[in-house]
Amino acid sequence: MRYKIENFIRGAMSHILLWMVSIVCLFPLVWMLSTSFKRMDEVNTSVLTFWPKEFRFDNYVTVIREAHFGQYFMNSVFYTSLTVLGVLTFASMAAFVFSKFKFPGDRLFFYLFIGSMMIPIPGAFIPLFILLIKLNLVNTRLGLILPYINSGLAFAIYLFKGFFDEIPNELLEAAELDGCTKWKVYRMIMIPLAKPILATVSIFTAMAIWNEYLLALVIMISRPVLFPLQVGIMKFQGVHITDYPHLMAGMGLATIPILVIYLLLQRFMIKGVTAGAIKG
């Protein structure tokens, strides 16, 4: 009897806690949605209303029609997909080498590699910007994508290497005897096995890049046509007044692709985070 009550209380407590965390997390999202349907004057009243007086879907229509939404959206898709591709390629290759090849100083290189890239982008802003100017890459797509790729590598290499370390060497040796070159081993064995990691890295990278704001703003300083979505929709944020309903509608639209990617890849990703060894 006592155990029953104890169990009940314990269950209830954890549920209450989970609910509270969920609410805290979800509230900004819901607030964004609710605001996106409001009219400007409703937002500006001193009375906060949760439920809009009337649902104005035309906020969305206006955003899409007037704010070069399509163009910014395509820019974001371009930056995000190329960055993801770049990170997957370079990180998996580097991790393959760090995990399965022996060379003098391999450990040192690995930690240097990882360590140097752990410096967050804002910390390296000024040198980065100067470098890009010297390379004539400011206001170019490449100038944005290269630092983006770099910013994702450290974590991705770390994940890939952890996974590759668990793949028994005999598997690679068997492939070698079967006639694989190192490149084929990478292509035919390592990459197909690393699907969960590919998914995990894709999601994390895509989310980070899709939502990135500061670097894009700085690097595309005088080329607004190349703005990604997150920078583009900020035109609704004025110096004096901010058009919250349109801003929120734009943000709402901007979340959708990430949501879709997440839902599609989430299954693999959980595997990627929890799975360690693959036993043949």
Partner 1 sequence: MAEVILKNVSKIYPGGYCAVQDISMEIRDKEFMILVGPSGCGKSTTLRMIAGLESISSGDLLIDGKRVNDVPAMDRDIAMVFQNYALYPHMTIFDNMAFSLHMRKYPKAEIKKRVEEAAEILGLTAVLDRKPKSLSGGQRQRVAVGRAIVRKPKVFLFDEPLSNLDAALRVQMRAELSNLHHRLQTTMIYVTHDQVEAMTMGDRIAVLHKARIQQIDRPMALYDRPASQFVAGFIGSPAMNFFRGRIKEVNNEMFLESDGFSLKLLPQTRDSLARGGQNVTDVMLGIRPEDVYDKLFIPAAEDRNVLPATVDLVEPMGAEIFLRLRCGAYSITARMRKDVTVTVGQDMDLVLDMKRIHLFEADSGRALLS
Q: Two tokens at 7?
A: 């169990």
- Residue 137 or 171: which CB sits closer to partner 1? 171
Any idea of the CA torsion for 155, 156, 161, 162, to the nearest 10 degrees? 60
Subset of 182-211 contacting partner 1 (CB under 8 A): 184, 188-189, 192-193
Tell me the closest approach of the beta carbon of residue 203 to partner 1, in angstroms.
Answer: 21
Subset of 141-180 contacting partner 1 (CB under 8 A): 168, 170-171, 173-180
Distance CA 38, CA 56 (A): 6
Query: Is residue 267 a contact point for partner 1 (CB under 8 A)?
Result: no
Tell me the closest approach of the beta carbon of residue 182 to partner 1, in angstroms.
Answer: 11
Distance CA 250, CA 177 (A): 55
Tell me the closest approach of the beta carbon of residue 90 to partner 1, in angstroms.
Answer: 23
Distance CA 125, CA 16 (A): 43
Distance CA 110, CA 215 (A): 26
- Residue 97 or 144: which CB sits closer to partner 1? 97
- Residue 39 or 100: which CB sits closer to partner 1? 100
- Residue 6 or 178: which CB sits closer to partner 1? 178
Any idea of the CA torsion for 203, 79, 219, 229, to the nearest 10 degrees? -80
Distance CA 249, CA 245 (A): 6
Nearest residue to 199 via CA among 277, 272, 96: 272
- Residue 120 or 280: which CB sits closer to partner 1? 280
- Residue 270 or 277: which CB sits closer to partner 1? 277
Tell me the closest approach of the beta carbon of residue 187 to partner 1, in angstroms.
Answer: 11
Tell me the closest approach of the beta carbon of residue 200 to partner 1, in angstroms.
Answer: 17
Q: Looking at 20-28, 181-189, 238-246, 267-275, which segment touches partner 1 (CB under 8 A)? A: 181-189
For residue 26, list its beta bridge partners: none
Residue located via tokens 């790729």: 149
Residues forming the site for partner 1 (CB under 8 A): 168, 170-171, 173-181, 184, 188-189, 192-193, 278-280
